[in-house]
Every structure is written in structure tokens, then in C-alpha cells.
Structure 1
Amino acid sequence: MMIWLRNVMLAVMAAVAWAAPVTADSSIQLGPRPLYLLQALPEGVLKQKLQSCANGPFYRTDFSIAHRGAPLMFPEHSQQSYQAAISMGAGIAECDVTFTSDKQLVCRHAQCDLHQTTDILLRPELAAKCRQPFQAASGDSAASAECCSSDISLAEFSSLCARMDGVNERAQSVQQYLQGTPAWRTSLYNQCAKPMTHRESIQLFAAAGIKMTPELKQPEVAMPYQGNYTQQHYAQQLVNEYKAAGVAPSQVYLQSFNYQDILYWLAQEPEFGRQAVWLDGRYEQPGFDAMLPDSWRPSMQQLKQDGLNIIAPPLWLLVTEQDGAIVPSAYAKAARQAGLNIIAWSLERSRPLAEGADWYYQSLPTLANSDAAVLQLLDVLARDVGVIGVFSDWPATTTFYASCMQPPQQNVPP
């Protein structure tokens, strides 16, 4: 216990050293949501501190990571979503990366999600190319479709309109099928948002002066694709586009759930690989127990020995309930003890918490009972777990918290 406590104290001291103050950014616009969440907090030290910062100043900070842009209200991975995140002070933005039929990289959360995140089904000439055409609901069978970026060319992809994610599984028509955005999001900004290529995202983020965290998505086609495009080609192409754009490795946090991608970057592109982020999906392994480190394969120590420096689990893996409070989990302590930095995902991707804790809050079944838990969890992640950043679907909240509670981070070393 004393060793772990010493490591935490050293990490906190290091975080302060990394976080050099900068001039407040008057261009940052946070809107009403952070104050709405603040009002939901019970009276106490956290609320008093955050209330003192209600009027700023606000800073752009690497702690605030835009998850797919700002998809709580804007179509994910669209130019409009990214611009909203930039305006909210995100210091890092994410382009989930997949590829088209002509092997060009584009920003999509999954290779085969175009049917629910774009208007492809409303374009007959492109809908005809989908892996599975639209099928209406019938009896116990839900309405369905499947359209992949690999079904169409880059030019065809760029002609689409991005739209809010979600489908109506009881639909009898394409128009009904596309009316499935959850009620707690909005379709207010759903008017033909522009989908982004990976290169376009690099240009946009570089122009805004923010860092980049692309996620190499798992292909949903057989690899090697078209007989010659291997997983290694795919991973290398991602890095090559940053090199071609003149982006320094220090500005890029490569991500993947596929640990072999991480090992490839560590071996072949060590300057980029040293701050690659492994998205930890070990919770899906048979026998995984969040409380038992012996059930985690590979172990935290093995990950660090392999050269990994940053691990990124879902929110619920990092915290648990104890005596009526949110506290760091065994997972969080083990990761820090092994010398790993932590990034968490994804804040504000949940329905209103008064409706009950969802997947992201599953380790807080009694405490995540109102939207106040958003800021309470964020505070524990920052102060007690010691995360270096948090993905959010609404970066204004993480920007607000970081601007108030700690100096803005300028460089987060691996």
C-alpha cells in the first residue's frame, strides 16, 4: 500500500510539473451544460470550488479529449462536430479511422456504420452498393441494414451527409429507420453535416492548434483486403499521413483496441509508438474480473514491459463504490503501480443518470443516480485515480472542470 501511495504522490507531482499555465482563451465557449451539471451537485467543497469558476477563465487543455467531436448534439466525426469540440476547448480530438473501397482513410466509428450515421440509404445509387440493403421490421425481426465505408469509394464517401447516430428498429421505411436518434440527444444540427477524411481531420486540428488521437478501427472485411492490403499496411498508412502533413509525433496519440497494432507502432514507429494508447478491452475476455488482477491477460506489468505507456479503459473499470463514495478501483491502482498513465472513456455518452446507471457507470449502481455523478466521477478520476485525460461527448464539461481544478496541461508525457 505504501508503494502504491508513493507512486500516486509522484504522479500527482509530475502532473503539476507538466501542467504549465497559459493565457486564458477567450474564444472558448462552454455554453449552459457545465452550469446545469454544477447545479445538480449536492452542497459541498466540490460544488463551492466549481461555482467559483463559473465565469472563467477557461483554458484549452489536453485533459479535455473530444470523443468523435461533440456527438451529444452534433453528428459524430463531422466537420461541425469537430468544430464544436474545438470551440469548447478540447485540447485533443479523435478521428476513428477506417478505409474506403479504394483504401483511403476516413473518420468513422466503425467500418460498417454508414447506414446509421449518414444518409447513404437515401441515395439509391449508393444504397445499392451496401453490404445489406434496408429490410423493414417484420414480426419479431427488427429493421436492419448494413453499409460500410469499404462498400464505396472516397469520392462517394465524401458526397454523403453525416447525421446523428441511431436507427428505428421497428421501421417500415428508410425514412422511419433513420428517425432513431435517442431522445436525450438532438437532431437540431442534423442538416447535412460534412463527413471527414483522415487527412481533412489532420488539417482541421492542426489549424486549430490541437493534438490528435486517431483510433485504428478493426476492419470488418477480410484482411489482407483485396489480397494485398494487410493490417500492417493499414497501421503504417495511418502514421504516414501524419508524416506527410508534417505533424510531430508529440502531437499524436495513436489508439487501437488491437494490441498487435500497438506492438507494431512500438517496433516500427517508436516516436509515435511511445505515446500510443491501448484501448483496453480485456473486460470482454472469459473469466475477467475487475477486482482480480490475476484474471487480466496480459498483466499490467507485462504491458509496461512491452513498452506501453498509456492505457485507456472505460469509465467503470477505474472506480467503484465504497462507504457511499466513489473511489479508485483495483484496476486503477494496478495500472498506476505498474507505471502506466491512464485515459478514460467516455464521459457524457450516457442517458440522463436519473434513469439509472448505464454501461459506462455499471460499477456505480447506487451512486450514479443523477447527472451530478458526471462531475463527481470526473473529480475522482482527476484527483484520486490521476488520469491524464478524459474522452467526452461534450468537451465543454471536461474543459470547465480542468480549467477550474488544475492548471491547463500543455504536454502530457507518456
Structure 2
Amino acid sequence: MRHAIILALAAGVPASGFAQDTAPDGPAMSYGQRPAYLADKLEDGELKDTLEACLGQSPERTDFSVGHRGAPLMFPEHTVQSNRAAARQGAGILECDVTFTKDKELVCRHAQNDLHTTTNILTTDLAEKCTQPFEPASGDTEASAECRTSDLTLEEFRTLEPKMDSSDPTAETAEAYQGGVAPFRTTAFADGADLMTHSESIELFRSLGAKFTPELKAPSVEMPFDGMTQEDYAQKLIDEYKAADVPPEDVWPQSFNLSDVRYWIDNTEYGGQAVYLDDRYEAEDEDEGLIDPTDPETFKPTMQELADMGVNYIAPPIWMLITLDDAGEIVPSAYAQEAKDAGLEIIAWSLERSGPLAEGGGWYFQSVNDTIDSDADYLTVLDVLAQDVGIAGMFSDWPATVTFYANCKGL
């Protein structure tokens, strides 16, 4: 019994005897233990005092807290169970990354070609349909595979069992390749998880009292695919919200492809909240080489040009929005200021994805890694993003942290 309660608390699942709140339009909510754990680690000061004073409050759902693939810190991503956990942690907006099957049905997967790391496909008879069947590790060559949703029909996709996103590059068998889960994650909640189609995610999220932020994933196959163009694909996503009578104000469609965003703006009622997922830091200029990620003036199109196109929301990774000043303090970056000056709303990604921060925050915190040395820095960075940058929302792999902060600060 004691073990069951500990797991429930860690997962943010209500357990008898602990503070929770039942929303009229969603499941019972609980912060679990993680927000208190992070607040305890903060250095003494105003932020710690403020947050610790909020630890006894009842959680409320907030659109500031966005479930990134649900709650994949502990649950298999893009599953029914992962999103239920995110909703119980107060996420007001939930995400389905959208891709398509061989018969052009929309399903929730982070990438069209991730089935070999997010499901059990390699240990089933469907493994022979994979674009690249499993190859065992040999010498200096790592084990590999590539299995796409477009390799399978929807009926075949539904037979797969989801798992924590992982693989073991040293594996000599397909069964061993299923391992490799990061030590800061867990398989405790992976058994019996359920995959979803995009349309099923709409019904689930609505039943949970949450809003919607679908991401149109870049296809791994050449487009058009069996007659379906990229614009057909972008429209199909919107059509499933229209068919479900979901109002545009409840949907934030996302894409890294600016053409998708512009299509939604120019051709649908759902373009006003279309989110441009900004990866221009990876772009290259023919004359100048790699664009300087610290200098937004080198980005094309510029922030103002995006706004002039009708883009209202931009979503960069956390590190692009912050930097260190001469005193080593975390402050808003020039990128953040340029976006705000152009009138763009900012959504950041993704908190709680880096694991323990004792030795720095890795990719998501690269612009401020010199000062990242404690898990408490999840809250420190979130505070700068919310109060100084002024973000409109935060994606998180464990939404309870963001929900707690947002509730405490009245966001």
C-alpha cells in the first residue's frame, strides 16, 4: 500500500488523504510531490518564500501549462494514460503530434518514423514491414532500425503496444533494443498504455477539460503521398476539429514548417492561434553560413515580417529566450525582446525534459548552462521566462511543475 501511494504521489495521481481538487470540466487534480521537491531546493529568497507559501493550495487548471506529449517524464508519450496524467496535473492545453498512416489516417506520434523506439513493433510480425528492419550492433556499428506509421495501415497501427521512448544502441536482438530508458525516467507506468488517433485525442482532451495544440509533423515520406499534398495534410488536421465542433479559440495548431502556418492563416478559421515552431537557429545563409542564434536580426523572415504575415504565436526552445548578463544572472535574450517588440506571443519548450540539472541543463538550457547546477533551476528559469520574458505558455514533460508555478503566481 505504501509503495502504491508513493507512486501515485510521484505521478501526480490523487491518493487518499492528500490535497486535490475536482474541476467541473475535468478529472481530479493533484500536484504530487515534485513541485515541493523543486521548491525545497531553491536558494533562500523571495522566489522560494513565495512558492513555499503556495504548497498547500488546491491546484487549478491553467492554459499556461501545456502538456508536451502528455506527461512523458513517466508515461509513454502520446498515449491516453500520458495525457490523463497531464490533465490531472492541471495542464490546460494538451498536445497531439500529428502524422499519418499508410492509409492516410491521422495518428498521434512525435515523428512519422519513431515506431521502433516508442512501440513494440520490432518484436511483432509487423517488423518486416518497417522501412529499415532491425540491424544488431556489430563492432563499432550501433544497432538501428526505422519503422514509420506510413509503413502500416491504421488497423495495423492499433495492434502496437506503446512504450517509453528509448532504444539500446548496443543491442544484438530486437528484444534488447527495446531497452535504454533514461535513468531519470521510469517504466512504472508503461504497462497497458493505449495509442491514439488524432480524432480520438480530440475527444479525450475534451473529456479531460483541456484545449488542443496539435503539431503537424514533417513527413518522412516524399510528398505528395499517394495523392495527398502537404496542403491536404494541413487541411485534414483542421477538418478533424471542425468535424468535432471544436471552436478555433480552443485550438493552437503548430508546425515547424512556416508554409503550414501560413496555409492555416490564409485558408482556415483556425489560423489566428497558429503557432510557428521556430527552428531558424538551424538555418544556413548561402553567403554567411550558419545563422547566429544569438542575433535575431540575422533571422529570415524577421520577427516583424512574421507578424506582418499574420503570425501571432511563436514557439522557440527555452535556451533561445534567455541569456546571462555580465553578473551571470539569467535575463531575457535579444531574441525574446525582438519577438515581444513585434507583438508576438511566445510559447516555450520544453521544461522537465533534461533530467537532473546538477551538472548543467544540456541542450534546452545551453545559453545559460554555466549557471545551471540544481533541479531548482527548473523553477528559476521558469520564473524568468514568465515574469521577465512574458511567455504565454510553457510546454512541459511534467506539467505539475508549471501548473503549480502558474497557480501560485496567478498566471
TM over 0.5: yes
Q: How many residues align?
A: 382
Distance 2:333 2:390 in 1: 12
Q: Does the CA contact (< 8 Å) of 1:24 and 1:58 recur in 2?
A: no
In structure 2, what residue type is equivalent to 1:261? D
Deviation digits for residues 45-74 of structure 1, max 9, x if unmatched?
A: 000000000011221000000000000000
Query: In the alignment, is residue 335 of structure 1 matched against residue 334 of structure 2?
Result: no
Distance 2:309 2:168 in 1: 44
How far did 1:28 drift?
1.0
How far did 1:288 drift?
1.6
Which of residues 276, 279, 303 in structure 2 aligns to 1:278? Answer: 276
Alignment of 1:170-189 (within 5 A): 170-189=170-189
Q: Which moved more, 1:23-32 or 1:251-260?
A: 23-32
- What secondary structure, in the 3-state scheme, does the structure 1 residue paired with 2:165 have? coil
Distance 2:351 2:106 in 1: 26
Distance 2:301 2:396 in 1: 27
- What secondary structure, in the 3-state scheme, does the structure 1 residue paired with 2:369 have? coil
Distance 2:22 2:99 in 1: 36
Distance 2:98 2:347 in 1: 19
Deviation digits for residues 268-301 of structure 1, max 9, x if unmatched?
A: 10x2001100000101012321332321111001
Deviation digits for residues 62-98 of structure 1, max 9, x if unmatched?
A: 0000000000000000000000001000000000000
- What secondary structure, in the 3-state scheme, does the structure 2 residue paired with 1:128 have? helix
Gaps of 5+ in 2: 1-20, 285-289
Aligned to 2:53: 52
Q: Does the CA contact (< 8 Å) of 2:84 and 2:208 recur in 1?
A: no
How far did 1:158 drift?
1.3
Distance 1:31 1:57 in 2: 11
Q: Does the CA contact (< 8 Å) of 2:69 and 2:82 recur in 1?
A: yes
Aligned to 2:296: 293
Q: CA RMSD in A?
A: 1.1
Alignment of 1:11-30 (within 5 A): 25=23, 27-30=28-31
Aligned to 1:204: 204
How far did 1:175 drift?
1.4
How far did 1:370 drift?
1.1
Distance 1:388 1:183 in 2: 31
TM-score normalised over the length of structure 2: 0.91
How far did 1:24 drift?
8.1
Alignment of 1:213-224 (within 5 A): 213-224=213-224
Distance 1:295 1:395 in 2: 34
Aligned to 1:259: 258
Q: Does the CA contact (< 8 Å) of 1:224 and 1:230 recur in 2?
A: yes
Q: Which moved more, 1:204-213 or 1:43-52?
A: 204-213
Report 1 or 2 for greater relative contact order, CA contacts < 8 Å, sequence distance ≥ 6.
Answer: 1
In structure 2, what residue type is equivalent to 1:260? S
Aligned to 2:248: 249
Aligned to 2:77: 76
How far did 1:369 drift?
1.3
Query: In the alignment, is residue 399 of structure 1 matched against residue 398 of structure 2?
Result: no
Aligned to 2:8: none
Runs ≥4 residues deviating over 6 A: none
How far did 1:355 drift?
2.8
Aligned to 1:104: 105
Q: Does the CA contact (< 8 Å) of 1:317 and 1:332 recur in 2?
A: yes
Which of residues 384, 388, 397 in structure 2 aligns to 1:380? Answer: 384
Q: Does the CA contact (< 8 Å) of 1:95 and 1:108 recur in 2?
A: yes
Distance 1:209 1:84 in 2: 13
TM-score normalised over the length of structure 1: 0.91
- What secondary structure, in the 3-state scheme, does the structure 1 residue paired with 2:314 have? strand
Q: Does the CA contact (< 8 Å) of 1:130 and 1:151 recur in 2?
A: yes
How far did 1:356 drift?
2.3
Aligned to 2:366: 362
Gaps of 5+ in 1: 1-22, 408-414
- What secondary structure, in the 3-state scheme, does the structure 2 residue paired with 1:225 have? coil
Distance 1:294 1:313 in 2: 15
Q: Does the CA contact (< 8 Å) of 1:24 and 1:57 recur in 2?
A: no
Q: Does the CA contact (< 8 Å) of 1:163 and 1:192 recur in 2?
A: no
Indicate the percent of aligned positions where both proteins have the same amino acid: 54
Distance 2:186 2:357 in 1: 17
Deviation digits for residues 281-333 of structure 1, max 9, x if unmatched?
A: 10101232133232111100100000000000000000001112110000000
Alignment of 1:30-179 (within 5 A): 30-124=31-125, 126-179=126-179
Aligned to 2:309: 306
- What secondary structure, in the 3-state scheme, does the structure 1 residue paired with 2:300 have? coil
